[in-house]
């Protein structure tokens, strides 16, 4: 939020400092302060701040109109003051399911790093291929360089996920980076350390869960310190004190617990092999992705690796070797089925990298964000592992993963039988994963319109005036007559207002839901040709906290013209004493030549409401 840091400092200075804030929230366009002493605020100073569109004082609130990026300014305000209502509390007012919020939280941590993870995985795959065909050897400088490039992101996963977790919990992302970097430091990671008489050995490289847990621990501490540390010391004082508290705790507690748990699981699974190979294969392969997420895969694999290195054929490695093919099939099924271009861009390279044995892009970019698909990968991997156990597949050497790993599972004494055993594992893993994913995966977008289609339409509409239909029906009033200075002044864009006769809002064009406030009283839309529309149902209706509003879309959805967006109860809102004047504005008016209103009295859905003048833009 660094770009808004100075803006927030100027706002705080203008309102009399953070100590003058009794309460602050935000809606779609404005910061809403309740000040302890409004006389301490300098109205003229606030109005002169670059980035402030309007100042509105009404109903005991001191409202600073920012525009559509108000949420980012609010986050920065929270970071600097610590007096904001938490984002978590706001979310609980929504009717969104807890599981959905959890999966969104996890996706927000995992997904951002997926593209670079895919890129590195493909580099790794190319390097493995060049080695396999004899062009490179492990001693070649190019091989070593490509290997370092290919493994960089996977090795430093705690750094990436430290950053994204910190952003999710709204603390300084560099605190997350610092925690992740400390966990990966080769001077302490995997090195026995004598701490207060206890020997601690913990390895965190290539792990996910430990850094997430440590950053979650750091979050309340950093927020508390941010409120208590004096301004002059806050810049370095907050990260210093946070690091000195949470990193030793996390390093000394989480690592040993994870290692002990991994050893326990590994011993149990290896013991089960001697009792029932089919069940053992199902559990070993089926739980493998869980072990990767928990960061215990290395620990539970140690006995197996030691056996193979010592020349003892081992069942464990063969049983879990089909997981990469299950993940590849999952990514392929999603790539074929999804119409979401962002997901296509992730799933295709994830498929390629999984075929070469690097499954993290498919796991974190495709499976983890979708709980049903993730569970499907566990089942399909387990089925392949069960087949490996049934046929008695074993590992005879330590090799690379993916398509080239099969040679490590061929028994020199029985090449045909051992090849059939391991190939049966791979085929069952791949086919079952593809089928399961095909039936379980569903695009999160509401419409089948792809992002690429939206971009194509935008190109064709360049330099043409754009007709925008009405999203509502009712009586039109001019924006100037709206009883809200921010909208009436045009500060939020040109447009009109409607006093609705029907409690429905529909999509006036093909596009995306760019913003949907959690009280569902306001929605932002972006058309395929770049028109940004803000629809604010009623005035001050944010205070209803979502009552009488029923959303039919969520932020990020792709919509087609005529799709139902929101329903609202006109009678109930009136009973609560709120005005139903509904401003409809083109919030990026400055991007076009002009915005003209087509109607001046009553309007019905699908009638032309605006002409966005775009003819002279070149």
Q: Which of 2, 369, 364, 12 is nearest to 173 (CA)?
A: 2
CB 156 within 8 A of CB 164: no
CB 289 within 8 A of CB 377: yes
Buried b (16+ CB within 10 A) or exposed e, 438-463: bebbebebbbebbbebbeebeeebee
Q: Which of 47, 21, 38, 58 is nearest to 539 (CA)?
A: 58
The single residue of 27, 118, 120, 184 carrying the catalytic annotation is 27
What is the C-alpha radius of gyration for the chain, rounded to an integer number of angstroms?
29
In a 3-state reduction of DSSP, which class is residue 612?
A: strand
Residue carrying the six token digits 């043409």: 464
Cα distance between residue 382 and residue 476, in whole Å: 62
On the 0-12 / 13-18 / 19+ scale of CB atoms within 10 A, 504 is middle
On the 0-12 / 13-18 / 19+ scale of CB atoms within 10 A, 87 is middle
Q: Which of 355, 366, 269, 359 is nearest to 319 (CA)?
A: 269
The residue count of the chain comes to 618
Buried b (16+ CB within 10 A) or exposed e, 559-586: beeebebbebebeebeeeebbbbbbbbb
Largest CA distance in the chain: 90
252 catalytic? Reply is: no
CB 468 within 8 A of CB 495: no
Residue carrying the six token digits 């004899």: 134
CB 527 within 8 A of CB 516: no
Q: Helix/strand/coil (H, E, C) string of 100-166?
A: HHHHHHHHHHHHHHHHHHHHHHHHHHHHHHHHHCCCCCCCCHHHHHHHHHHHHHHHCHHHHHHHHHH
Q: Which of 476, 509, 475, 500 is nearest to 597 (CA)?
A: 476
Cα distance between residue 93 and residue 103, in whole Å: 18
Cα–Cα separations (whole angstroms), residue 132 to 122, 237, 359, 400: 15, 52, 19, 10
The residues assigned a catalytic role are 27
């Amino acid at each position: 939020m660094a770009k808004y840091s100075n803006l927030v400092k100027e706002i705080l200075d203008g309102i009399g400092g953070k100590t003058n804030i009794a309460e602050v929230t935000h809606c779609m366009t404005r910061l809403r302060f309740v000040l302890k002493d409004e006389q301490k605020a300098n109205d003229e100073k606030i109005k002169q701040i670059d980035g402030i569109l309007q100042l509105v004082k009404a109903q005991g609130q001191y409202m600073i109109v920012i525009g559509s990026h108000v949420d980012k300014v609010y986050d920065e305000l929270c970071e600097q003051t610590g007096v904001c209502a938490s984002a978590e509390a706001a979310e609980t007012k929504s009717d969104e399911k807890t599981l959905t919020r959890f999966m969104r939280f996890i996706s927000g941590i995992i997904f951002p790093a997926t593209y670079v993870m895919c890129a590195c995985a493909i580099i790794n795959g190319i390097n493995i291929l060049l080695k396999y065909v004899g062009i490179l050897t492990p001693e070649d400088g190019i091989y070593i360089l490509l290997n370092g490039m290919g493994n960089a992101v996977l090795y430093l996963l705690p750094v990436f996920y430290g950053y994204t977790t910190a952003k999710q919990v709204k603390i300084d992302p560099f605190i997350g980076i610092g925690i992740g970097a400390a966990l990966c430091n080769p001077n302490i990671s995997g090195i026995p350390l004598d701490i207060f008489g206890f020997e601690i050995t913990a390895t965190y490289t290539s792990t996910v869960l430990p850094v997430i847990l440590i950053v979650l621990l750091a979050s309340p501490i950093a927020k508390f310190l941010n409120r208590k540390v004096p301004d002059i010391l806050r810049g370095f004082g907050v990260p210093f004190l946070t690091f000195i508290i949470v990193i030793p705790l996390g390093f000394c507690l989480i690592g040993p617990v994870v290692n002990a748990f991994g050893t326990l699981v590994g011993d149990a699974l290896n013991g089960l092999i001697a009792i029932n190979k089919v069940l053992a294969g199902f559990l070993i392969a089926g739980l493998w992705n869980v072990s990767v997420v928990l960061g215990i895969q290395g620990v539970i694999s140690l006995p197996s690796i030691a056996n193979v290195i010592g020349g003892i054929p081992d069942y464990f490695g063969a049983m879990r070797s089909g997981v990469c093919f299950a993940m590849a099939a999952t990514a392929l099924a999603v790539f074929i089925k999804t119409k979401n271009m962002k997901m296509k861009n992730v799933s295709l390279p994830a498929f390629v990298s999984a075929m070469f044995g690097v499954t993290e892009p498919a796991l974190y970019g495709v499976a983890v964000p979708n709980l049903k698909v993730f569970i499907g990968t566990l089942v399909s991997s387990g089925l392949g592992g069960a087949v490996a156990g049934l046929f008695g597949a074993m590992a005879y050497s330590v090799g690379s993963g993916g398509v080239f790993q099969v040679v490590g599972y061929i028994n020199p004494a029985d090449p045909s039988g051992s090849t059939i055993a391991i190939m049966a594992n791979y085929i069952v893993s791949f086919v079952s994963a593809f089928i399961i994913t095909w039936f379980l995966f569903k695009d999160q977008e509401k419409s089948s319109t792809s992002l690429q289609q939206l971009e194509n339409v935008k190109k064709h509409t360049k330099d043409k005036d754009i007709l925008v239909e009405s999203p509502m029906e009712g009586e039109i009033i001019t924006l100037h007559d709206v009883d809200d200075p921010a909208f009436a002044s045009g500060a939020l864009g040109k447009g009109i207002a409607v006093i609705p006769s029907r409690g429905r809002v529909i999509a006036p064009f093909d596009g995306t839901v760019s913003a949907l406030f959690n009280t569902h009283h306001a929605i932002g839309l972006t058309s395929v040709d770049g028109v940004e529309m803000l629809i604010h149902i009623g005035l001050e209706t944010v205070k209803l906290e979502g009552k009488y509003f029923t959303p039919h879309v969520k932020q990020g959805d792709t919509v087609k013209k005529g799709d139902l967006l929101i329903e609202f109860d006109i009678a109930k809102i009136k009973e609560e004493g709120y005005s139903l004047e509904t401003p409809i504005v083109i919030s990026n008016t400055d991007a076009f030549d002009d915005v003209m209103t087509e109607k001046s009295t009553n309007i019905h859905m699908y009638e032309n409401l605006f002409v966005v003048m775009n003819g002279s833009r070149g």
